Amino acid sequence: MKASIFVDTSAWYALVDASDAHHPQAAAFLTRALANYRDMSTTNHVIGESYTLIRFRLGHAVASEFLRNVRQARRLSHIFVSEEMEQEAYKLLEQYPGQAFSFVDGTSCVAMKQHGITDCFAFDDGFIAAGFTVLPGGESK
């Protein structure tokens, strides 16, 4: 069993929104991830970004339920992005001028590197450019 898989906003959103094109794939992969990884990890920045996206697209009730589920998840590790991690993210974002990385993506890459996480549950190809394995298939959202 692998140690941990990082969960990106694109995966959280696909899991929550049943009308998202990646929802069936995300739901099926979540079952496999829970069987194959000790836990899942995400950052406070990803949780904030996910909440905001869900809030604006699906409404307050769905976004609040997302936060409740994240807070109660027993196999989810929360990585809190520090000022030092943000400084590393600035450097990383400068290294990839051609990539459509968000600031949160930059902090996610730094968090994964610092915590030895190589696999990322996402529908965002940017993580591949940074050297991570994107699952379930590295498709663009």
Per-residue pLDDT tens over the stretch 19-37 = 999 999 999 999 999 999 9
pTM (two decimals): 0.93
At 44, phi and psi to the nearest 5?
Answer: -60, -30
What is the residue type of 51? Y
CATH superfamily placement of domain 2-135: 5'-nuclease (3.40.50.1010)
pLDDT of residue 8: 98
* Phi, psi dihedral angles at 74 (to 5 degrees): -75, -25
Domain ranges of the chain: 2-135
Cis ω for the linkage preceding 24 (within 30 of 0): no
Contact 8, 104 (CB under 8 A): no
For residue range 50-59, what is the model confidence (pLDDT) as tens digits? 999 999 999 9
DSSP state of 63: H
